[in-house]
Amino acid sequence: MGSRRRDRRELLKSGAAMVGGLTFGAVMPAMGQTPSPTFIRGNKDQIAYGDRSHFVTSVRIPHGGRPSPDPFGLVFHVATPLQDSVGVITPSSLHYVATTRGSFIPDIDPREHRLMIHGMVDRPLTFTIEDLKRLPSVTRLHFIECAGNRSTPKAKTIQESHGMTSCAEWTGVLLSTLLKECGVKGGASWFVAEGAEEVKGASSMPLAKAMDDVIVAYGMNGEPVRPQQGFPLRLMVPGFEGIFSTKYLRRIKLVDRYYMNYNDYGHLRQDANETALGYQVGPKSVITFPSAGQQLSGKGFYEISGLAWSGGGAIRRVEVSTDDGKHWMDAEIKATPQRRAHTRFGCPWNWDGKETVLLSRCTDELGQVQPTLAQVAKFFNVPLGEVPGLDNTIQPWRIASDGSVQNGHA
């Protein structure tokens, strides 16, 4: 006990010396330390709002082969660099962006912005952002995933195959709190949420979801929701396809039937199974390291790391295979899995330097298990390349004997 305390004191002392070295490194070298060769001079901008190290260069990329921004400044789909992710929170600057048809990002003055709730309610109400901040709030981790987040044989990296999902900490008022304030009329069964951007994007959703866990969010990762994510208000609809999480939220209308407005038309399907699978995101996991495009430096120890998530709730189990599915082992789930949030998993691996395939699969709290592409193709009775709906299948990463990693679908 005593020796441990001494160790800690010594550690503190050397820590203080290190800080000294960083601050005054150029002028007076700290005792017993190699002076830091370069330093970042304090400047006003960096003190006011800090940047990441210039050695860290991870960026988002346009998704699906469409330039973003386009020559007119329209923003299309942009994918998050999952290959560089650690932990579960996606920094807001790297959070994926999707727009319904290519959008200019609206520049909304939050003091002018209003949310109106009306339709089948006793009292229609209009809220300012200040009003909303007076009400009891929730702060929760949730992923969002675009319905277009599909792995194809063409994807060269995980950013291309899986980058249209991200996870953030969302703060706001539960929609159920606001609806109770308005008083829900009997017979109301659906609601329409609408944004304030140029196309006034609108989606119909079941009222049961509104009463369950939908958040009218003004906060994201400890600050106001960013413009690309819906500033000043975003309807956070946990676990549903990303398009339902309505940005620039200006209006919610309670109705007694599916309204078939704008985004709803895009969800129109012939097959009931496809429609059902299109709402709630299925259990999905992917290994972020090692993943396609990365390079192993040689045989030996690596911790395989990845993310798992499900629209059905919390992740209960993640399994990893390092021999193309012959054997599976339970991965370690890092921290307590949150409902409808990315969950980090890890798995120790000693690579013998031979060619192999890495896989991961997850199970959620409802007992839903992530399927293989072949299983889903069989279910829909279609070829592998024509599986409909949001892809939640197992991603194979092929490790070559030279340590390079490739998409196993290729």
Partner 1 sequence: MGTHRFVACVLLYGGLLLGASVLAQSSPTYGVGRTPTAEELRALDISIGPDGVELPAGRGTAKEGAQLFTSKGCAACHGANGTGGRAPELKSKDGPSVDTWERGRILPVRAPFATTVWDYINRAMPLGREGTLTPNEVYSLTAFLLSINEVIPEDQVLDDQNLPKVKMPIGDKYASLPDWKPKTRRLRGYPY
259 lines the binding site for partner 1 (CB under 8 A): yes
60 lines the binding site for partner 1 (CB under 8 A): no
Output 335-340 pairs: Cβ under 8 A, ≥24 positions apart.
335/88, 338/140, 338/141, 338/142, 338/314, 339/140, 339/213, 339/238, 339/239, 339/313, 339/314, 339/365, 340/142, 340/143, 340/213, 340/238, 340/239, 340/309, 340/310, 340/311, 340/313, 340/314
Among residues 46, 295, 375, 401, which is the contact residue for partner 1, using CB under 8 A?
375
129 lines the binding site for partner 1 (CB under 8 A): no
157 lines the binding site for partner 1 (CB under 8 A): no
Query: Smaller CB distance to partner 1: residue 198 or 355?
Result: 198
Beta strands in 221-310 (DSSP E): 223-224, 234-236, 249-255, 284-289, 300-309
Is the sign of the CA dihedral 113, 216, 245, 122 positive or negative? negative
Query: Smaller CB distance to partner 1: residue 21 or 311?
Result: 311
212 lines the binding site for partner 1 (CB under 8 A): yes
| 131-139, 148-156, 164-172, 350-358 -> range binding partner 1 (CB under 8 A) | 131-139
272 lines the binding site for partner 1 (CB under 8 A): yes
276 lines the binding site for partner 1 (CB under 8 A): yes
Decide: helix, strand or coil at residue 355.
coil
> What's the min distance (Å) between Cβ of 116 and partner 1?
5
Q: Which amino acid is at 257?
A: R
Q: What span, in angstroms and rounded, lies between the C-alpha atoms of 344 and 387?
A: 27
Query: Smaller CB distance to partner 1: residue 224 or 389?
Result: 389
Q: Which of residues 283-342 bind partner 1 (CB under 8 A)?
A: 311-313
Return all residues near 111 (Cβ < 8 A) that are at least 6 apart.
Answer: 128, 129
Residues near partner 1 (CB under 8 A), total = 67
Residue identified by tokens 């396809």 is: 241
Going by C-alpha positions, the residue among 192, 202, 218 that lies closest to residue 117 is: 192
Among residues 221, 370, 395, 407, which is the contact residue for partner 1, using CB under 8 A?
370
391 lines the binding site for partner 1 (CB under 8 A): no
| 47-55, 116-124, 227-235, 347-355 -> range binding partner 1 (CB under 8 A) | 116-124
Q: Which of residues 182-211 bind partner 1 (CB under 8 A)?
A: 182-186, 192, 194, 198-200, 202, 206, 208-209
377 lines the binding site for partner 1 (CB under 8 A): no
287-305 in b/e form (b: 16+ CB < 10 A) is: bbbbbbbbebeeeeebebb
Query: Smaller CB distance to partner 1: residue 46 or 273?
Result: 273
Query: Smaller CB distance to partner 1: residue 295 or 375?
Result: 375
| 2-10, 29-37, 328-336, 365-373 -> range binding partner 1 (CB under 8 A) | 365-373
What the block records as the tokens of 268 is: 């129109």
Q: What span, in angstroms and rounded, lies between the C-alpha atoms of 296 and 353?
A: 9
66 lines the binding site for partner 1 (CB under 8 A): no
118 lines the binding site for partner 1 (CB under 8 A): yes
Q: Are 120 and 252 in contact (CB under 8 A)?
A: no
Q: Across the beta sheet with 300-309, what order do the strands follow?
A: 284-289, 300-309, 343-351, 332-333
Kindly report the backbone phi and psi dihedral angles of residue 93, in degrees, each rounded to the nearest multiple of 5, phi listed first.
-65, -20
Among residues 13, 40, 348, 379, which is the contact residue for partner 1, using CB under 8 A?
379
Chain positions contacting partner 1, by CB under 8 A: 101, 116, 118, 122-127, 131, 134-135, 180-186, 192, 194, 198-200, 202, 206, 208-209, 212-213, 250-251, 253, 255, 257-262, 264-265, 268-277, 279-280, 282, 311-313, 366-371, 375-376, 379
